[in-house]
Structure 1
């Protein structure tokens, strides 16, 4: 059963998975519905921000009290800790609930939770329907980090985060997603093509230092259309169950 929170809503689960929607208040359209469907298929815990929008949102200036990017943490590299005093207190509540649910999920995953952050991205020329971010990217067939200023990646810069899942699992997840995406939608899956999530400020990096696996799934606009919500959610849930079946 869903319960209301200061940031939106949450639900306890009974599996190794925790599903998170940090931009469901009007930034990443329909990620709330997709996250709910994925959670239903996985019997997972669910945490949804339904109240706070990003500063880039067109409604930000007219509703400043509801502006906070829930996927952008404030990290001190000097002190090696998160600076919550710089953030809205309801964002701290959001991550406290994610942490609580991840700890509970470990009992179903041999001491390891699988935390999945659901995002939305624009359609792109590469025809990537789902881009997997876990702290690395593909480059000439190999997974690697950034190369600083020489790197043309959209997230180029110093890689301050950590790889947050096993690469073999992420490659299997990509292949499993792509196999059906190509047939049903003519789209591909990617790993860190647009959003690598390799900054310590990214939400998935909150789980660094634990045994938990964390990743973000960027879903294209096409796949977030109302008639695709149920099918893409089932695709993602089935792929996660297959990759993390043991």
Structure 2
């Protein structure tokens, strides 16, 4: 797929650095503020991930759960998420945006209707946490027909046999979960070990981009800069929470954090 996501990775590689991917929850802490944060951090992030708030998460740690709770409390709905994407893309048409969420929300909304809405609002990619390979093959195929990148997940426990199959069926981005943990946990594995597993994945897959997520913070990001891309989510959600508690400007504080992250991987 010659998508906006793959074009972004190609551009970043010419700068000899990894792509910076940010994750925020749609509607945190308000719908309006969520869009402001997204627009502002996209000046430094290469790809923006936007999460669907969910009340029964699987892999989301405390910081992301707190963000999701605020958004749900503020009445965020799926159509509101699409409206945020639509308004974002009006001024940031060349910035890839990936929606991240859970399949039961897509199922309840209706698969085909959901993908039509993604196409209409110019969503570039999807991460569906609770739809693993090979159960996701049919949905991933539907995504590809709509020009939407379906992003496969792999972990430290993914066997080589399974990994080969996932890579073969993947589009132009794979998400490597760095450790067996929820998001926001301290890095339990050394960066060296994470990169060893990352290199194993890349050996089998030279044409597709592999990003690393989980445990990526200001302290750890520089040590993993050999990856195609690095995802930061919980640190951003924590910054929003702290800004709210201190009655500070969340847009400014989060943007400054993302700017610092970007400077560390240049």
Same fold (TM over 0.5): no
Q: Counting strand residues as a fraction of each chain, which structure ranks higher?
A: 1
Q: Counting helix residues as a fraction of each chain, which structure ranks higher?
A: 2
TM-score (norm 1): 0.36
TM-score (norm 2): 0.34
